Chain A
Amino acid sequence: DTGVSQNPRHKITKRGQNVTFRCDPISEHNRLYWYRQTLGQGPEFLTYFQNEAQLEKSRLLSDRFSAERPKGSFSTLEIQRTEQGDSAMYLCASSSGEGLGPYGYTFGSGTRLTVV
């Protein structure tokens, strides 16, 4: 297993366009998390899945954001009508159970979104 994979690595889009990011977690991990990180800030929680069920959504996740994890495998995060404030690094992580084992959450390298 090559870890958590996120695609694309970088995305530049015009304001108002829709974008979709993909995350492929470690195959045996049942939990998948999305975080957002802006410059000078730590990762901020957006949402998470246990298998295919979306169990929690942060207040940060406006109606323009939607996430799915069909069949409990990969996940997609879509942002509709992007705004400049959406520019950030979007991080995906996965864990086996609650992530309290020796590796905790396994993070991907992120997708950097720039809205122009």
Chain B
Amino acid sequence: AQSVTQLDSQVPVFEEAPVELRCNYSSSVSVYLFWYVQYPNQGLQLLLKYLSGSTLVESINGFEAEFNKSQTSFHLRKPSVHISDTAEYFCAVRTPYSGNTPLVFGKGTRLSVIA
């Protein structure tokens, strides 16, 4: 079975500062990795994903994450955050095999951007 650990439950950061949200996963097989974001009073939305190929993946709003197989990590980074990035971020994992493999989520990290 897969599992996800998000070590930081809350991350406060000043506007225009860089941020890293950490995600480590556990799996005995290969994995697909995802970051979902939940803005206040909205449903979860896919931010970015790693399925295969380049280990560095990017979102349209400036976030990036790098799949590191040796460290079993998929940390999310942004070089300069905006107030609008304030949200809860969830890392998720599943196996590539088709069939009964829904997403397994971490506990989430609440990012608070301070003006």
Pair count A-B, CB < 8 A: 61
* Mask: chain B, 99-114; 1 = CB below 8 Å from A; 0 = not: 1111111111000000
Contact A42 B106 (CB under 8 A): yes
A41 within 8 A of B: yes
Q: Does A3 contact B (CB under 8 A)?
A: yes
Q: Does A104 contact B (CB under 8 A)?
A: yes
A95–chain B nearest beta-carbon distance, Å: 10
Which A residues are CB-close (under 8 A) to B104?
45
Are the CB atoms of A105 and B44 closer together than 8 Å? yes
Q: Which residue of B lies closest to A41 (CB)?
A: B107
In the complex, chain B residues whose CB is within 8 Å of the CB of A3: 43
**Residue A40 interfacial (CB < 8 Å):** yes
Q: A42-B107, A43-B90, A100-B51 are in contact. Are A107 and B43 (CB under 8 A)?
A: yes
Name the A residues within 8 Å of B49 (CB-CB).
100, 104
Contact check, B46 vs A109: say whether CB atoms are below 8 A apart. Answer: no
CB A22 to nearest CB in B, in angstroms, measures 15
Min CB distance, A40 to chain B, in Å?
7
Mask for B14-45, Cβ within 8 A of A = 1, else 0? Answer: 00000000000000000010101000011111
